[in-house]
Structure 1
Amino acid sequence: MSPSPVHQHRITGAAQLAGIAGQPVAHSLSPVIHNAWLQAGNIDGAYMPFAPRDAAGFETLVAAGRAGLVQGLNVTAPFKEQAFASADEASAAARATGSANILVFEDGRVRADSSDGVGVFYALAEQAPELALKGAVVVLLGAGGAARAGAGALIEAGAEIRILNRSRERAEALAADLGPAVSVADEAALPEADLVINALSVSPAIDLSALKPGAVVMDMTYKPVVTPFLAAARARGLTTVDGLAMLIGQATPSFTALFRRPPPPLDLRALLLAHLGETA
């Protein structure tokens, strides 16, 4: 009996083109996710990485979108705030933080949105379902783009944010942008934290023994899936939430916006863990 033919993902002249823009971008798992969905749904389209050298390069990419060469982009560091500023209209989620990780191009216009908050909620609901965000104290480690992107949704959910960052000046600037639910803190805030989120690209040097037993620890990075920070939290018996869950959570609204349809069913976590060669 001959084996079943392997399904080939066909791309034609009518293909829909979207992608992700960042610098660097080679590490991104978004092309793996979106192209897997396109193949699973037999959708005529492609999702490509774009690495503009600088702000001028990103501006050129947005102009290409306005000209109809690409129908949408995910946006990652360092272009999220520039993406928001380049848009003709923006969702409430994007306006809340002044940043966007989704740009949709249609008839020469640019619409900005942010699914980072959706990603945070998805990850917390999946891996820390008992955590109630209303009234929760969230200690956010870092004051860069990742911290900004995640904070808006947490504020909307009723959480109080304490920003802990090496540069107090940057933390104060972010707090001023985000409003009265956000303040600048130091490690003295850790004992009252219900949730600690690492929004740095490196493992933070904080004393996890200061956390209360019911605290939840989340890391926005996902390489490795169980980062040293999460491993240390697990060793203390704390509930942990990984960045891979956040990535998966923000991908669904991204695909729906970029390809104008919901993604087909697919076990993304299994797919990505296999891609990464991990078993977490």
Structure 2
Amino acid sequence: MSNTLKSVSAKAAPAPFLRAGVMGWPVDHSLSPKVHGFWLQQYDIEGEYVRIPVAPQDFAQKIKSLKADGFVGVNVTVPHKQAALRAVDEIHPLAQRIGAVNTVVVREDGSLFGFNTDGFGFLENLKAGFNAFDAGNGPAVVLGAGGAARAVIAALLDAGAPEVRILNRTKERAEDLAKDLRGLGSGSILVGDWERRGDYLQDAVLLTNTTTLGMHGRRSLDLDLTALPQSALVNDIVYVPLQTDLLARAQDRGNPTVDGLGMLLHQARPGFEAWFGRLPEVTDALRAHVLKGV
């Protein structure tokens, strides 16, 4: 065999083309394809990340066909996060406690492993935006009791928060959430009255809004910040608009703030690593790319 033929035969096989995506209903508004598409190009990975619109009645069948359809995994967004919990073959314990799956890995045998990266994305965003933040330094106040609040509260308790105060317009829903999450970490959970929400801000080190109040097209968040320590970090997981009224008012009174876009970006990192084999970074270039046209 000639040297030329030897060199040709020694070439490595081309890398496989990897497909992932986001399942939701509707899903056209999802920014995830912009995030993952940016990373695929940046790291020169042969693959794609696509939107997969799936009506609720078709979800169970569609997710079971991912292997046959050539997918290595998917993100799951509304309204399918709880349905995904029931559809996967193995669930990460934290996702089980949160009660929702937002990331699915398709294994070689076609079985599905589900986990939840929202809490990871939330904490990483806070640390990136305000590196002095430490959940163990004092009480955290969480507005809302939906799926995002579940992930946020679980992450805070796991990170050592001594107390999490939940404030929600429907108190019963907050009480149900507290019952589900008690026992995570060593911290306590207090459910407060929405009508007295400003009172619960005293001595807090973190205030985070997980509701849709303040989102573009929704009512603004009516919250008196007088009792909030000026040193407390204020976060809003809403990112349209990027600068919500809550963040603007907090900045005006001297509080450090972190917007909600970073949570979206950081929660995408573990899934990208699981599917494409590279843990990506969140950079200013990525933020600018995602915000373009939003």
Could you say which TM-score interval applies, normalised by the shorter chain? 0.7 to 0.9
Residue 255 (str. 1) matches residue 272 (str. 2): yes
- Given that 2:35 and 2:290 are in contact with CA atoms closer than 8 Å, whether structure 1 keeps it comes out as no
- Given that 1:218 and 1:240 are in contact with CA atoms closer than 8 Å, whether structure 2 keeps it comes out as yes
The root-mean-square deviation of aligned C-alpha atoms, in Å, is: 2.2
**Structure 1 unaligned blocks of 5 or more:** 1-11
Paired position in structure 2 for 1:39? 41
Paired position in structure 2 for 1:9? none
Quote how far apart the aligned CAs of 1:264 are. 5.4
From the superposition, tell whether residues 277 and 18 of structure 1 become closer, same or farther in structure 2 (CA, over 3 Å).
closer
- Given that 1:248 and 1:269 are in contact with CA atoms closer than 8 Å, whether structure 2 keeps it comes out as no
Give the ranges of 4+ consecutive aligned residues of structure 1 lying more than 4 Å apart after TM superposition. Answer: none
The amino acid of 1:119's aligned partner reads G
Give distance in 2, aligned partners of 1:71 and 1:264. Answer: 17
Paired position in structure 1 for 2:9? none
SS at match of 2:71: coil
Residue 189 (str. 1) matches residue 200 (str. 2): yes
> Alignment partner for residue 210 of structure 2, among 189, 199, 202?
199
- Given that 1:78 and 1:145 are in contact with CA atoms closer than 8 Å, whether structure 2 keeps it comes out as no
Q: Matched residues, percent identical?
A: 40
Give distance in 1, aligned partners of 2:181 and 2:280. Answer: 36
From the superposition, tell whether residues 245 and 275 of structure 1 become closer, same or farther in structure 2 (CA, over 3 Å).
closer
Quote how far apart the aligned CAs of 1:103 are. 0.7
The amino acid of 2:180's aligned partner reads D
Give distance in 2, aligned partners of 1:139 and 1:85. Answer: 30
- Given that 1:136 and 1:194 are in contact with CA atoms closer than 8 Å, whether structure 2 keeps it comes out as yes
Paired position in structure 1 for 2:141? 139
The 5-angstrom pairing of residues 1-20 of structure 1 reads 14-20=16-22
Comparing 177-186 with 192-201, which one deviates more in the overlay? 177-186
Q: Deviations over 1:115-170 (max 9, x none)?
A: 11211121111122222211521111111111112221111111121111111111
Quote how far apart the aligned CAs of 1:77 are. 2.2
The amino acid of 2:64's aligned partner reads A
Give distance in 2, aligned partners of 1:182 and 1:49. Answer: 37
The 5-angstrom pairing of residues 30-109 of structure 1 reads 30-54=32-56, 56-106=57-107, 107-109=109-111
The amino acid of 1:262's aligned partner reads R
Give distance in 2, aligned partners of 1:234 and 1:26. Answer: 33
Aligned residues: 264
From the superposition, tell whether residues 124 and 13 of structure 1 become closer, same or farther in structure 2 (CA, over 3 Å).
closer
- Given that 2:142 and 2:149 are in contact with CA atoms closer than 8 Å, whether structure 1 keeps it comes out as yes
From the superposition, tell whether residues 13 and 100 of structure 1 become closer, same or farther in structure 2 (CA, over 3 Å).
same
The amino acid of 2:278's aligned partner reads P
Quote how far apart the aligned CAs of 1:275 are. 4.2
The amino acid of 2:157's aligned partner reads I
Give distance in 2, aligned partners of 1:169 and 1:66. Answer: 40
**Structure 2 unaligned blocks of 5 or more:** 1-13, 215-220
Give distance in 2, aligned partners of 1:206 and 1:238. Answer: 15
From the superposition, tell whether residues 116 and 275 of structure 1 become closer, same or farther in structure 2 (CA, over 3 Å).
closer
The 5-angstrom pairing of residues 13-28 of structure 1 reads 14-28=16-30
Comparing 150-159 with 179-188, which one deviates more in the overlay? 179-188
